[in-house]
Amino acid sequence: MVLHRQSLPTTRVPLLFALSMARPAVRRQRLVSAAMAAPAREGYASPFLSGKGNDDFVVRNDRNDVRVLQCPTPPVLRQGIAETAGLPHICVAGESNAGKSSLINHLLKKKLAKASSVAGKTRSVDLMLVNGRLVLADLPGLPSRDHQVERLWRSTWEPLVASYVRECEPLRAMLYAHDIRWKVTPLVRSFLQDVQASGLPVVLVLTKDDRIADEADDRPSEARRRLKLTQAVRRSLDFRGLHFHYSTESSLPSSRRGRRQLLSLIEDLIGEPGGREECRRLLEARAAKKQGRAEQD
C-alpha cells in the first residue's frame, strides 16, 4: 500500500477525547448525488427528500432498496448525517478484514459494500440508506495484528470514525465485528472501552463462525471450540454485553439463524423511541437475561 508520508499529521487526538468534543453545527445542504451508488427502483421516493418509508420489516429478506453514500472526509460525513436526519443509524466497526462489509452485504442480501481478502478495502464511512427507514454505516477497519493499515487508521480513519460516533446523534448502536478466531489486541480493547464510555452501546458480532466448523472434527468439538473462543474474546475485552455468532455462508442453518437474530435486534433497536440511551438499556436488559439463562443451564 502506498502511503503519502508528507501528508500524514504527526499528532494524534486520543479517541475518548475526540468522542467527548462538542458537536459542531451542521450546515444543512443537499449532497451531490454523484456520491450515491446503487440507484433505487423506479417509482421509489428518495428518503433523502421525504424521510418516509414502508411499514413492513425494515430489512426485507430480499428486494431491499439501498443507496450508498460514501463519506471519506468529516465535512462530507457531516453532510451525509444531515441528509439522513430523522433516520436511525446503526454502524458496523471492527478490525480490517474482520468481515464488516461482508456482514452488511449478507444482512441486506446485496453486494453493495466492497469486500476483499486484502485488508483496508473500506476507506470511508459508507452510509447505506436501507428502504428509507434505516442507515447502516460500514466503517473503515482498525489495524489488526499485522499492522497493515496502522498509519491510515491513525491519520485518517480514526478521526473520521470518532467524528461519526460523536456527531451522529441518531446513531443507536455499534455492531462490533470480530473474527472469532482472532486474539483481542490492546488497540481493540481501548477502542471499545472508549466507544462504550462515550455512551454508545456495543453489540459484539463474532464473525466467520463457519471457520470453526471447518477446523473441528465433529459437532461436540466444534461447540467446545466455539464456547472457548467466545469466552476468550469476551474476557479479553471485559465485555458484558450481547454477542452473536455470524457467518455469511448462507448454506448453513446457523448462518440463516444468525442473520434473522441480528435483523430482529436491529428492528428492536431502531423501534425504540428514546434513541441511544433507550437502546443501551434494552441491550443491557437482554444481556442480563441471557446471562441469567446461562447461569441456570
Ligand X SMILES: Nc1nc2c(ncn2[C@@H]2O[C@H](COP(=O)(O)OP(=O)(O)OP(=O)(O)O)[C@@H](O)[C@H]2O)c(=O)[nH]1
Residues that bind Mg ion in the complex, under the rule CB under 5 A = 100-101, 121-122
- Least Å distance, CB 249 to ligand X, is 6
Return the number of the residue (100 or 280) whose C-beta is nearest ligand X.
100
- Distance, CA of 63 to CA of 221 (rounded, Å): 38
Q: Which is nearer to ligand X, 48 or 153 (CB)?
A: 153
Task: Identify what 94 binds: ligand X, Mg ion, none; CB under 5 to 8 Å per kind.
Answer: ligand X
Q: Which does 207 bind (CB under 5 to 8 A by kind): Mg ion, ligand X, none?
A: ligand X
Between CA 84 and CA 48 the distance in angstroms is 6
Q: Where are the beta strands (DSSP E) in 139-251?
A: 171-179, 202-207, 243-245
Q: Which is nearer to Mg ion, 122 or 207 (CB)?
A: 122
Question: In the complex, what is the shortest distance from the CB of residue 39 to Mg ion, in angstroms, rounded to a whole number?
Answer: 22
Strands 243-245, 125-130: pairing is unpaired
First to last CA, the chain: 49
Q: How far apart are CA 46 and CA 53, in angstroms?
A: 9
Using DSSP, state whether 185 is helix, strand or coil.
Answer: coil
Residue 11 binds what, of ligand X, Mg ion, none (CB under 5 to 8 Å, by partner type)? none
Closest distance to Mg ion from the beta carbon of 128 (Å): 12
Distance separating alpha carbons of residues 45 and 239, to the nearest angstrom: 41
Binding stretches for ligand X (CB under 6 A): 94, 96-102, 115-117, 119-122, 141, 207-208, 210-211, 247-249
Q: Which does 148 bind (CB under 5 to 8 A by kind): ligand X, Mg ion, none?
A: none
